[in-house]
Amino acid sequence: VAVRDGCEDEISQRFKIRVATNDNTNKSNSDISNSPQISLSYSVQWPTSILLNSTILSKYDLIFQFLFLVARVKTQLQKVWQLLMRQSKMKKNSFFITQQLMVIRHKMSFFVDSLQYYFQVDVIDTHFQKFNNLLASSADFEEVLEQHTQFVDLLLAIILSVKNHCSPNVKVKDLNVLRIVFL
């Protein structure tokens, strides 16, 4: 049994997870573009609200939504792998197609894993360390506020630049093509 102190409970009670679902019933449940949009909100109290204002919290939420989408894609790729393994056992004559699809899934999985690692280690961790070092040398609160805003803006800019450079012809929902082959 985990024991929480009062401070932890107070903080966790301020977090809210919102789930907004699409009303489009024509799409498959496995379609990532039809999955619920999950977002975080946090009820900030004064004086923390000076640093974590609604604009900054919205930016953190966008970062969270992107990282959650990457994690969702990883989960879908694992489900495709399971499906391919089942199908390869059932349909012996489709070995060549299954093998090609496994190679495609593996390459996609490698890309998504690399993308997640890039954001978590090369972007977030690296810039957070730089931000932390700047905080240690900050002279006043205005400087802290400015550095925090720059930190969040930088993270968001990197995420949005990657998101905007994705080919418009390749969509996350295209993972379902692998599912359609076997249905």
Q: What is the pTM of this model?
A: 0.68
Rounded alpha-carbon distances, angstroms, from residue 123 to 69, 127, 151, 154, 163: 17, 6, 11, 9, 14
What are 71-129's pLDDT values in tens digits? 888 888 888 887 777 776 766 656 666 777 778 888 888 988 888 898 989 889 999 99
Answer whether 73's CB lies under 8 Å from 172's CB: yes
pLDDT at 93: 59
Torsions phi, psi of 17, nearest 5?
Answer: -110, 125
